[in-house]
Amino acid sequence: MSQANGVTIGLEKVLFGEVLTAKNSGASTKDLQWIPMESAMRQLGLTNEGSAVFDQADPDTTDFKVEEQDTPIYSVNTQGKVTFTMEIADPSLDTIKETVGGEITYSSGIADGALDNDAVIEVSGSFIEIRRSVLIKPKVGFKRIVIPNGLVSAKLTGQVTKTGLFLVTVVVTPTKLTIGSETSGIYFIAGKSIKPITGGES
């Protein structure tokens, strides 16, 4: 659906894929060359209502001061970090593998509460660097928001109660992706208007 008076609202889906090492020559538009084909990306689960949020920290200013005067002799502004956060409301073992880390194995015999051939994943608690390309499709407004190289951090949250869901909270920090001599940031795509933003971490 086209963007109406600059309004972007609602979420159709969020897709995750591998970070490319070469541009996707089969992409229909230039901005989509930075991510896999949509058919090669997948949803990791449904998004908890109200949890899909973009945020950008306030810019940081560093002032260089000298004893002889009260005002800085030089100031440097640094763009605030951008993050995209979502809560996955129906996480599977595959969701945990792709966002928290670990490998899915299949039990043999009865051990640690697992029956024969049950799927099992161990979350070690150790930090594992996970990078994914991310495609966000709003229902109204921007056609796509593309993060070619996102640093993914996730944690297990939520409840195991009658009134609350067990969740995986995923935070994606866009970082620069360089292929050849070109560098990409975040793309906000609205019809023929393509606006790349490079305010992620390097």
In a domain, 110, yes or no: no
Distances 141 to 10, 98, 144 between C-alpha atoms, Å: 9, 28, 9
DSSP code of 109?
S
DSSP secondary structure string for all residues of 10-55: EEEEEEEEPPPSS--TT-SSGGGGGS--GGG-B--SPBPTT--EEE
In a domain, 164, yes or no: yes
In a domain, 108, yes or no: no
Q: Determine what percent of the chain is predicted with pLDDT higher than 90.
A: 39
- Which residues, 6 or more positions from 194, have their beta carbon under 8 angstroms from its beta carbon? 29, 30, 31, 187, 188
DSSP code of 63?
E
Whole-number pLDDT of residue 113: 54
From 79-93, 127-141, 156-170, 184-198, the region with the lowest mean pLDDT: 184-198
The partner residues of 196 in beta bridges, in order of sequence, read 187
Whole-number pLDDT of residue 122: 78
Detail the DSSP E strand segments found in the chain: 9-17, 53-56, 60-64, 74-78, 82-88, 104-106, 119-121, 130-140, 144-158, 166-174, 177-179, 182-184, 186-190, 193-197
The span from the CA of 147 to the CA of 145, in Å, is: 7
| Average pLDDT rounded to a whole number, residues 194-199 | 50
Which tokens in the block code for residue 52?
């899909």
In a domain, 20, yes or no: yes
In a domain, 95, yes or no: yes
Residue 18, pLDDT > 60, answer yes
Which tokens in the block code for residue 115?
């029956």
Q: Residue 174: which CATH number?
A: 2.30.110
Q: Determine what percent of the chain is predicted with pLDDT higher than 70.
A: 86
Contact 57, 199 (CB under 8 A): no
In a domain, 120, yes or no: no
Query: Which domain covers residue 145, as residue numbers?
Result: 9-58+79-102+128-197
The span from the CA of 122 to the CA of 140, in Å, is: 39
The string of pLDDT tens digits covering residues 100-121 is: 888 887 766 555 555 556 788 8
Residue 28, pLDDT > 90, answer no
Whole-number pLDDT of residue 202: 46
Structural domains in the chain (count): 1
In a domain, 3, yes or no: no
In a domain, 24, yes or no: yes
Contact 86, 49 (CB under 8 A): no
pTM: 0.79
